[in-house]
Amino acid sequence: MTIKTLRKAALAAAICTAAGGTFSSGALAAGFALQESSSSGLGRAFAAENTIGDNAAILARNPAGSALFSSISLSGGVTYVNPEIDAAGFTDYYLLTPAGPQLAASVFAEANDYASSAWVPNAYLAVPFDDCWSFGLAMNTDYGLETDFRSSWPVTHIADKTELLSVNIAPSVAFDWNNQFSVGVSANILYADATLKSKVPNNFVLDPLAEQLLGTSVSNARILDADGDDWDYGWSIGALWRSVDGRTRIGISYQSELDPEIEADVNSDLLTSVNTGLPFDNEPANLTLDLPDTAEIGFYHRFNDNWGIALGAMWTDWDDFERLEAFFPDQRVNGEPFPGYNPLDIKEENFKSGWRYSLGVEYYPCDEVTWRVGYAFDNGAARNGLYQDAVEETASFGLGGGAGLPVTWRTLSIPDADRQWVTFGGTFKFNNQLSVDAGLAYLWGDDEVIQEFQALPLTNDVALGTYFDGGTTNLEAWLVGASLNYSF
């Protein structure tokens, strides 16, 4: 067990924590995605959100949507997301030495409501040029939110505080044929800004032992403190068909994958440069994220003057998100990139692709009012079962006997699970130009087992092994949204 090996393990643990927590919406959508593109869509659980086109917000999901409007149309709003994710479990601390592991302490702790609330804004513009051509502009967010564990959480080096802000800007153009079939394409311009933090727990239970071995306290010491951002570009394509009487619509759309490379400045009290031996001080690092491509199909039918139904299915190619890797371009030995940092394999996520199915019902009591209800089932992206490489790693340290300790794919930072949605909403039209939407949703997921292991160095021969054995005890969220629509 060399100090280089342990340093690599420490950095992997630190960055994995930060990267995982960055995307930890957890209670919102599969993996770390967001659905919140409009308040009208929220009321029907976003069923056929790429198809109905009751306002310009359709441009978030289908670039062909601008062909539905005969005049310039604006839509803008905000969704307030209040997730609550709770976790609890035992944290076992092991001293990993050449003589074998020694259990140093075992602590039970709970983390309540560690996913922060957030406001998710959106804005859209549809501009018809003539009977055939139209322009669209969508500005919304597809990924984000924040996790924040208290400083005394026993595994803050595995899960601490992280934050991601992302904005997607999508100009589009659409062509309409015979008022029945339209196609559109858009350019997707993504901006992502991330703040990533991990540290030793405050009032660390083994701090007296660490001080004896290292000669200094490590409680509250920074492992990773990183800030960075990046731009990336993709594309979308979509098509819409509507019947002659306008009562039936079918939409299909596809959005390409995105691969932003977060350019961050890293600071640390514990991680050191291979060049100077000093702790990282604004050390440049790059973290590439494989954001998945998606495909969506929607169906809408209005039975009569009072009732309509919407059905939707969205496929997300989470298989693209296999692992997290970091690169430290300035970490070189004899002019060559230091292999321990370039690349640094952070964590195997091995997400699985899945579907989101949604159903919405609309009721139109009069020309001015629309009421909506909806239901959705959202497949989680995290795999069930054990991460065998991590199980073998614990066995190599002599933990758990020959079989090793169980380590799950699912992590505290991304406590992903299948989710169900129930929603309610409505629209009020003041006149033919101005309307207002509102929506409310409650979603929940099952409790899941989470078991994680990380090793951090103390000296050349001694490492600290941390094993969390627990899971989520609550996974739910409330969402409320409002938006304003205006046609010139």
* Tens place of pLDDT per residue across the chain (488 aa): 343 333 333 333 333 333 333 333 444 555 577 888 999 999 999 999 999 999 999 999 999 999 999 999 999 999 999 999 899 999 999 999 888 899 999 999 998 888 888 889 999 999 999 999 999 999 999 877 677 788 888 888 777 777 778 899 999 999 999 899 999 999 999 998 887 788 888 888 888 888 888 788 888 888 878 888 999 999 999 999 999 998 999 999 999 999 898 898 988 888 788 888 898 899 899 987 788 999 999 999 999 999 999 999 999 998 888 877 778 899 888 888 888 778 876 667 788 999 999 999 999 999 999 999 999 999 988 889 999 988 998 998 899 877 899 999 988 877 788 999 999 999 999 999 999 999 999 999 999 999 999 887 778 788 889 999 999 999 999 999 999 999 99
| Predicted local distance difference test score (pLDDT) of residue 29 | 54
| Predicted local distance difference test score (pLDDT) of residue 401 | 76
Q: What is the dihedral of CA 362, 365, 369, 373, to 10 degrees?
A: -30
Measured CA to CA, the distance from residue 74 to residue 391 in angstroms comes to 53
Beta-bridge mates of residue 439: 425, 481
Find the domain containing 296 and state its range: 3-487
Helix, strand or coil for residue 375?
strand
* CA separation, residue 99 to residues 93, 116, 271, 455, 466 (Å): 16, 43, 26, 16, 18
Report the candidate in 100, 82, 147 with the shortest Cα–Cα distance to residue 414. 147
CATH of the domain at 137: 2.40.160.60
Measured CA to CA, the distance from residue 444 to residue 475 in angstroms comes to 6
N residues, the chain: 488
| Predicted local distance difference test score (pLDDT) of residue 145 | 65
| Predicted local distance difference test score (pLDDT) of residue 171 | 98
* CA separation, residue 324 to residues 271, 346, 348, 415 (Å): 19, 5, 7, 17
- Give one word for 187, left, alpha or beta, with left for phi > 0 and alpha for psi -120 to 50: beta
| Predicted local distance difference test score (pLDDT) of residue 359 | 98
| Predicted local distance difference test score (pLDDT) of residue 348 | 73
Measured CA to CA, the distance from residue 251 to residue 247 in angstroms comes to 13
pTM over 0.75: yes
Which ranges of 150-189 does DSSP label H, i.e. alpha helix?
A: none
Measured CA to CA, the distance from residue 415 to residue 483 in angstroms comes to 30
Domain count, the chain: 1
| Predicted local distance difference test score (pLDDT) of residue 143 | 79
| Predicted local distance difference test score (pLDDT) of residue 26 | 42
